Amino acid sequence: APGGKVYTKGTIYLSNVRMVFVANKPVGAFVAFDLPLLYIHDEKFNQPIFFCNNISGKVDPVVPEDANRALFSTHSFKIIFKEGGCGTFVPLFFNLIRSVRQYHQMSVSAADATPRADRLQVGQPPVDEMMRCA
């Protein structure tokens, strides 16, 4: 639904660059949603008393260089853990977010002389380093 909400079950794939939600069954034209970790903000782990644990947050769109930023809007998301798994996913998610932000901050500081670096390229920590820390 353009500009609307989508409620569906699916699988989340998490890497050191992005999180991808793939729906079990398409909902209209919605099949999957890509959330670059560097573009996620206002993330929060919620533990409501009468509902399932969840992670909520916002993700900014990846805007092409030649496009008008005003035509793209920030999306809200909520990942609900109805079948458990948050004990594994939540720490991994927040550690990856922290690592990506730290690496991006170091890269931006070191690359002040490099004009217009792509946030996704700069925010990709080396896989070897991530594996050593895991």
Strand locations in the chain (E): 10-14, 18-27, 30-36, 40-46, 54-59, 75-80
- Beta pairing partners, 14: 19
pLDDT tens across 99-117, in order?
999 888 888 777 665 555 5
| Residue 7 confidence (pLDDT) | 87
pLDDT band at 4 (very low <50, low <70, confident <90, very high): confident
pLDDT tens across 62-78, in order?
888 887 777 788 899 99
CATH topology of domain 10-133: PH-domain like (2.30.29)
Residue pair 59/40 in contact (Cβ under 8 Å)? The answer is yes
Among 8-22, 53-67, 70-84, 118-132, which is the least confidently predicted range?
118-132
| Residue 91 confidence (pLDDT) | 93
Residue pair 3/76 in contact (Cβ under 8 Å)? The answer is no
Using DSSP bridges, classify how beta strands 75-80 and 30-36 pair: parallel, antiparallel or unpaired.
unpaired
The pLDDT of residue 32 is above 80: yes
Q: What is the pTM of this model?
A: 0.72
Whole-number average pLDDT of the chain: 83
CA separation, residue 76 to residues 41, 73, 115, 126, 130 (Å)? 10, 10, 30, 28, 27
Residue pair 51/38 in contact (Cβ under 8 Å)? The answer is no
pLDDT tens across 37-46, in order?
999 999 999 9
